[in-house]
Amino acid sequence: MNVHSSPDIVAATAQRAYGAARLSVKHVNGRTRIASLYQEGCAKIRLPERDDHGLEAVMINTSGGLTGGDRMRWEFDVRENCRAQITTQACERIYRASADTAEAETKLHIGEEASLAWLPQETIVFEKSALRRSLNISLAATSRALIIEPIVFGRKAMGENIETATIHDRWRIWRDDRLVHAEDFRLGPDAGSMLRQPALLGGARAMATVLLLGADAERHLDAARKIIGARGGASFWSGKLLARLIDGDAYNLRKRLVPLIELLNEEAGVPKVWAI
C-alpha cells in the first residue's frame, strides 16, 4: 500500500510556552499588601505568609523551563513605603533549542521610600540553549533595590558540559528617569571556549552578579568583600555596590551567595524557598 502526503497537510509546529504576570503592592496599616494581581499562561505568582511587615512573591513557570520560542513577561510595581522581595520557586532551566530563542522580560518599579529585593534562584543553562533576557528597573529618589542574578553553565554533578549556547542578558536601571546602571552580557555561540577564557570564568561553571542601590550600600562593602573572597570582587561608586562571584559549581557558589544576600537584604534575609 502506497501512502502519499497531501499538499493540504500543514507541517506541525512545536508548541511554545507563553506566560505573563503582573503584581502591584501597596502600603496598608504598616504592612505591604496586594493592590492587583494578573496571571496568564504558564506564569504564576504565589505569596507565602511572612511574619514581618514585608511581602514575598514567588514566581513559577509551570512549563518547567524555557526553550527556543518560549516567551515570559513579568512586571512588579512596589509602591511607596512598601517592602517586598521576589524570588523563584526553583531554578529556571534553559533547555536545548531546536530553533529560535527563549525570551524573558522583567520590569520593576520601586516607589519612594520603598525597598525591593530581586532574588531569583539560579538559571541553569543547558547545551545548545538560546536565551535573551531583559531587566528594566525604575527607582524613585529614595528607594532601595537589591538585585542578584546567578547563572550555572551545566550541572557538574550530572556531568554536563556547555560548548554551544547563546545568552544575552540586558540590564537597564533608572533612578528618577536618569540611567544609573547598564549591563549587556553576551555569550556564545561558542560558549565553552569563551567560558574557559581567564577574563571570563577561567573554566568555572557558576557565576552571580549582585547589585545594591541605596543610601546604605557603601557601608556593606568591606563585609561583602570578606564573604566573596578571592573568587570574585566588589566595588562601590555612585550609590551602587556591585559584586561578581564565580565558582566551580552551583553548590559552592551558594555557600557564599546566601550569606551575601543575608548581609545585603538585612532583616528580610533569604527567601524560604531557597532552602526547600
User: Which amino acid does the sequence have at 30?
Assistant: G
- pLDDT tier at 276 (50, 70, 90 boundaries)? low
Dump pLDDT digits (tens) for 43-102: 999 999 887 889 999 999 999 999 999 999 999 999 999 999 999 999 999 999 888 999
pTM comes to 0.91
Report whether pLDDT(158) > 60. yes
So what's the pLDDT on residue 14?
Answer: 67
Angle formed by the axes of helices 250-264 and 221-228, nearest 10°? 170
Does residue 140 sit in helix, strand or coil?
Answer: coil
User: Which amino acid does the sequence have at 163?
Assistant: E
So what's the pLDDT on residue 2?
Answer: 45
Report whether pLDDT(3) > 90. no
Task: Catalogue the E-assigned strands of the chain.
Answer: 18-28, 31-41, 43-46, 55-61, 71-78, 83-88, 92-94, 102-110, 115-119, 123-125, 130-139, 144-153, 166-175, 178-187, 206-213, 232-237, 240-247
User: Which amino acid does the sequence have at 208?
Assistant: A
Cα–Cα distances (Å) from 123 to 73, 74, 162, in that order, read 16, 16, 14
* Mean pLDDT, residues 205-226 taken together: 96
Q: Backbone phi, then psi, for 47, in 5-degree steps? A: -125, 85
Q: Could you write out the DSSP letters of every residue in 142-166?
A: T-EEEEEEEEEES-GGGT---SS-E
Share of the chain above pLDDT 90, in %: 80
66 neighbors 20 (Cβ within 8 angstroms): no
Average pLDDT, the chain: 92
Give which of 96, 105, 102 is closest to 76, Cα–Cα: 105
So what's the pLDDT on residue 13?
Answer: 60
